[in-house]
DNA sequence: CCCGTATTCCGCCAAG
DNA sequence: GACTTGGCGGAATACG
């Protein structure tokens, strides 16, 4: 199973067939044939297998800069505001698949003006995404445990400032600590405690970039009682020390 | 589900 | 003084 990760590109993940569990945006989604997972830049995401083992997908990554200036606004609107899953209607699917495969072959073969061609097709794809009815979408999860893990992940995102133990959280959601530990890892790719740390460090990164708060203050705000431990954890996850990170990301 | 063990984490202090 | 790094023992949690 691929480790959870982030990157600065948009990711479009289209399922040709099979079934796939996707963790992103703090929620668990089950993708089926004809579904497209949209991951916006810097969102933590991972995939896991579902009961159905086999699957085939088409994957497209692109940076916002790749989209022509005049079409960039398409990325500012709803389906691209946060990572999500959309389902194309039956009759749209073949067209979407055609677009995607064509884009991929263009990228591979690199005939003249391939980039312009791809840029065009991407725009068309974005429009198709916008046109699909988003209202009746998002069956957030068929599986009851997916729902539960989603709730737990979102609970962590809301309460990372306070102490969160496996035991207390499990009790709050009426499952055993051991089961929570196992199911959480399976669906998110991260251990329960690891996820908390990642959420905390990501928030601290945000604070380092956007405020002038002292490291000490930030550490406390995101739920670390001791700076020494915050520093260690930060470096392990972010790769550099807090102030170094702030320095690097001074626009 | 419970258990024992291994691993990792956390809070604390000390030092650069 | 603020930040960073390191070591240590007990606690939490991961593993099988």
Q: Which residues contact A88 (CB under 8 A, 6 or more apart)?
A: A34, A35, A36, A96, A128, A132
Phi-psi region of A42 (alpha: psi -120 to 50; beta: other; left: phi over 0): left
Q: Is the CB of A163 under 7 A from strand B?
A: yes
What pLDDT is attached to residue A232?
96
Q: Write out which nucleotides of chain C lie closer than 7 A to a protein Cβ.
A: 2-7, 12-16
Q: Is the CB of A214 under 7 A from strand C?
A: yes
Q: Is the CB of A191 under 7 A from strand C?
A: yes
CA of A226 to C1' of B14 (A): 14
The secondary structure of chain A in percent helix, strand, coil, rounded to multiples of 5, reads 50, 20, 30
What pLDDT is attached to residue A103?
87
What pLDDT is attached to residue A84?
87
DSSP assignment string, A17-74: EEEEEEEETTEEEEEETTEEEEE-TT--EEEEE-SS--EEEEEEEE-GGGS-GGGGGG
Render pLDDT for A93-152 as a digit per residue (tens, 0 to 9).
898 899 889 988 888 888 888 888 889 888 888 888 888 866 656 555 567 778 888 889
What pLDDT is attached to residue A142?
63
pLDDT averaged over consecutive 10-residue blocks of chain A (251 residues)? 81 86 82 88 82 78 87 82 86 88 86 85 87 65 77 91 92 91 89 94 95 95 95 95 93 71
Report the distance separating Cα A140 and Cα A123, nearest Å. 27
The secondary structure of residue A129, as a DSSP letter, is H
Q: Write out which nucleotides of chain B lie closer than 7 A to a protein Cβ.
A: 1-3, 9-14
What pLDDT is attached to residue A4?
83
Q: Is the CB of A224 under 7 A from strand B?
A: yes
CA of A60 to C1' of C13 (A): 37
């Amino acid at each position: 199973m691929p480790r959870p990760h982030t990157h600065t590109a948009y990711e479009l993940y289209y399922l040709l067939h099979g079934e796939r569990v996707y963790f992103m945006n703090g929620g668990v989604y089950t993708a089926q044939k004809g579904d497209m997972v949209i991951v916006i830049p810097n969102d933590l995401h991972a995939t896991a297998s579902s009961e159905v083992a086999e699957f085939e997908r088409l994957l497209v990554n692109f940076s916002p800069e790749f989209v022509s200036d005049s079409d960039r606004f398409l990325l500012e609107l709803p389906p691209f505001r946060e990572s999500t899953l959309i389902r194309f209607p039956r009759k749209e699917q073949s067209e979407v698949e055609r677009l995607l495969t064509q884009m991929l072959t263009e990228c591979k073969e690199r005939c003249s003006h391939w980039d312009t061609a791809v840029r065009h097709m991407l725009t068309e794809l974005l429009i198709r995404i916008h046109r699909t009815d988003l209202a009746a979408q998002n069956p957030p999860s068929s599986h009851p445990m997916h729902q539960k893990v989603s709730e737990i992940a979102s609970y962590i995102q809301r309460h990372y400032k306070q102490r969160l133990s496996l035991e207390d959280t499990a009790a709050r959601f009426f499952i055993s600590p051991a089961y929570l530990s196992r199911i959480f890892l399976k669906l998110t790719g991260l251990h329960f405690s690891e996820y908390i740390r990642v959420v905390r460090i990501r928030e601290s990164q945000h604070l380092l970039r956007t405020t002038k708060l002292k490291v000490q203050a930030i550490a406390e705000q995101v739920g670390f009682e001791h700076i020494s431990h915050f520093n260690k954890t930060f470096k392990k996850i972010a790769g550099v020390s807090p102030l170094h990170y702030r320095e690097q990301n001074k626009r």
